[in-house]
Amino acid sequence: MKRGSGILLHISSLPSPYGIGTLGKAAYDFVDSLYAAKQSYWQVLPCMPTGYADSPYSGTSAFAYNPYFIDFDLLTEDGLLKKSDYSHLNFGQDKTCVDYEALFHLKNDVLKKAYPAGLEKYPHEFAAFKFENSGWLFDYALFVVLKKHFHYLPYRQWDQCIVEREPAAIMEVTRKYEREIEIVQFTQFLYERQWFALKDYANGKGIQLIGDIPIYVSADSAETWAHPEYFVKDGSIAGTPPDYFCDEGQLWGNPLYDWDYMREHDYEWWVRRMQRSLHLYDILRIDHFRGFEAYFRIPRGGSPKDGEWVKGPGGALFDAIKTALPMPPIIAEDLGAIDDNVKGFLDYCGFPGLKVLQFAFDEQDSFYLPHNYPRNSVVYTGTHDNDTTLHWFQTIRPETRKFLEDYIGKTNEGDVVGKLIRLAMMSVADISIIPMQDLLGLGGEARMNYPSKALGNWKWRMKKGAFGRKQVEWLRTETEIYGRAGNNC
């Protein structure tokens, strides 16, 4: 990967008048600002449809898109909607915070109105989309429709014949809900049209899109319902032991993969998932990468203190992926409990790992300190799971602050964020990614996620005009000074 820099900003955090960021005008404006600042990368969080708690890291499908990101105004320009279909609706009063409840009740009802005109306008394109995505699209659409039919209960509480996917029962509901199923499929088609238009625009300006996929899917997802053979049968779940994100450890609740089954089938599902993901994105960040070397297994009904590390598929999985996708452009999120086995695994795969400056100053010889970086790495001031850098600085221990100032010089709340951004930019790491909240110098109110807090996350949104000329010019200057300017200006 070439030396460069970019911004971490999820699509949901873009400004828009419709309750959440979308793939519309604000996204194109953001690309223009990245271009003006000579950036090379735009990183987003996972774009899968979300379920309970709205976490993009616990999606209801490993392959589908989040329909919340579809832009109404672009559909109106295409002649599929009228402004009156949605302009009167209240998608939330607070423009700096996503109102997921309002979106849940309103967004899909508006999107349904685009179906009749869209089916007439794009019959051949839609048919091709269904064919190309037949490996997952129907199961996902049927899952969404049945979820609504069963009043959004977890799928294990549906009628038993549906839970067990008895052929006669599946044929009956497929006939009964044929139109609703096709509307869900068409909504996915609309997202893909808007996504690739935006991607082409960004790529045309020399900006690569970095996507993100979680290692796991939700326990209540299209995959766990349609393909239970992919998952262990003993009810054990994923989590983490105590670490710097959470002193008590974390109980994620995601089902664990049956890696023996996956291996026997040549990791075919993972290969398809990676092929699709690298079709959507230029570069792919894989979350919780260490879980492929060894994963933390928590028994049914247990807590993190009851968990244990279990060997994962290791290099065999990525050998299979590389056979199908030679030299895949992957970033490995190697945070958490990292031992020599994980380091050896990362070296074997050859992917760049993550360096986070907020983790650098708790000990004198931390591998997060910039003088210890290899070039083959990606440096962040913080990630979506961290506090903003300003609030982190306001709350760190005195000894951490002393070492920080020994390292970068005397600092204060007014200049510390800029100094740490500069430290990331001047490092030898091939890629430097700055969360938008840090570029804007925001405090704890702009934090995206609290890993130990189940509800109330993923809501922050950027104010319209916040990434303005002043911020663009400052970022452009820093980018040029430290040799990260994209070949786009």
Catalytic machinery residues: 287, 333, 385
For 65-81, letters b (16+ CB in 10 Å) and e give bbbbbbbbbbbbebebb
Dihedral in degrees, nearest 10, Cα atoms 445, 446, 452, 455: 90
CA-CA distances (angstroms) from residue 302 to 232, 238, 244, 250, 297? Answer: 16, 11, 21, 11, 10
Look at the chain and count its residues.
489
Neighbouring C-beta atoms of residue 362, cutoff 10 Å: 15
Joined tokens for residue 268: 């075919």
* Radius of gyration, CA atoms only, the chain: 22
Q: Give strand pairing partners of 330.
A: 284
Structure tokens at 198: 């935006």
Token pair for residue 116?
Answer: 């009749």
Q: What is the DSSP string of 101-130?
A: HHHHHHHHHHHHTTHHHHHHHSHHHHHHHH
CA–CA separation, 165 and 143 (whole Å): 11
> How far, CA to CA in Å, does 311 sit from each of 50, 87, 263, 293, 297?
29, 53, 13, 6, 10
